[in-house]
Chains A and B, each alone.
Chain A
Amino acid sequence: MEQNITTTVFYLLAFVILASAFGVVRSTDVFHNALYLVLCFLGVAGLFLLLRADFLAAVQVLIYAGAVTILVIFAIMLTRRPDMSKSNLPNQRQGPAFVLAGLLFITMVLAFTSTDWSLSVQAVPEQTTRLIGQLLLNEYVWPFEIVSVVLLVALIGALILARED
């Protein structure tokens, strides 16, 4: 019974994610693209919950569906044009790009299905947040500190780039 629910939820989320990703790529109104993007991010957050990654699901909703989307909508509003419905047209390389993407997809699926993964039978810890906090401040403390410097550099760089002079 639980298996069936998991399967149904997976296919539902997969449909939402792929359909909204398709909307992001195909819709010609750039504002609609941003709205589809939010839907896709929320679908991925649901997928993280299905994978027992509760902390990451919360981070996904906060950072992607919250912060990044606001940033994108700001950029859309600041680069507005008169006719929004034609603000995001595809270029003339659509066909070759589609073929390339399709070939890459087939290659990846063949690679995934032919690999013999060494699956583990152990269960995921009930709550991952405490474990992630301990890992970040012990084993991964150097990457953690370096990534905070990267964020600071990105912040200052964005300010310098975007200010009026």
Chain B
Amino acid sequence: MSPIGLNHFLILSAALFVISLWGILAKRNGVAILMSIELMLNSVNIAMVAFSRYITPTVLTGQIFAIFIITIAAGEAAIGLAIILLIYRHRKTIDADEIDLMKW
């Protein structure tokens, strides 16, 4: 078997990214869309940590970036779920196709 290199991790990260992109575009449930966004941020983290391991192993820039991404993702999850609960309370649905008040 060939040794694992940077490209293996990058391709895995790209695959995770496009799977979650598919989820974001093709899902109705608002909570499921938020879950796909979390997966997307995770795939970016994989790429960041892989760059940190293979290109700048001593200064850890990629890992610091990944920590900031995780922090922002946690904030995003809290706000996003609060917005979804608010929409559910007002309209009794979280179907993204029916939340079209601002669509012209």
Contacts and interface: CB of A to CB of B under 8 A. Distances in A.
Interface of A: 3-4, 6-8, 10, 14, 17-18, 21-22, 24-25, 30, 33-34, 37, 40-41, 44, 47-48, 51-53, 55-56, 59-60, 63-64, 67-68, 71-72, 74-76, 78-79, 87-91, 93-94, 96-98, 100-102, 104-105, 108-109, 112-113, 117-120, 122-125, 128, 131-132, 135-136, 140, 143, 147, 150-151, 153-155, 157-159, 161-162
B99 interface: no
A20 B33 CA distance: 16
Contacts of A68: 38, 73-74, 77
15 contacts: A17-B12, A25-B20, A51-B50, A75-B81, A75-B84, A78-B88, A94-B26, A104-B18, A108-B11, A118-B55, A120-B57, A124-B53, A125-B58, A132-B60, A136-B64
A46 to B, nearest CB: 11
Contacts of A88: 27-29, 32
Interface string B1-42: 111101111111011111111110111110110111011001
B71 A122 contact: no
Nearest to A9: B4
A122 B76 CA distance: 36
- Majority secondary structure, A binding face: helix
Contact of B32 (A10, A30, A140): A30
A97 B49 contact: no
A5 to B, nearest CB: 10
A118 to B, nearest CB: 7
A51 B78 contact: no
Given A25-B19, A51-B9, A60-B45, 13 more contacts: A25-B23, A25-B27, A30-B32, A56-B45, A68-B38, A72-B35, A79-B88, A89-B29, A124-B58, A135-B64, A140-B64, A154-B74, A161-B85
Chain A to chain B: the 5 pairs with minimum beta-carbon distance, closest first: A154-B75, A97-B25, A25-B23, A161-B82, A158-B82
Contacts of B36: 24-25
Nearest to A139: B64
A67 B74 contact: yes
A33 B85 contact: no
Nearest to B40: A21
Given A21-B39, A59-B70, A7 B19 contact: no
B7 A113 contact: yes
A93 B31 CA distance: 18
Given A4-B1, A79-B94, A44 B45 contact: yes
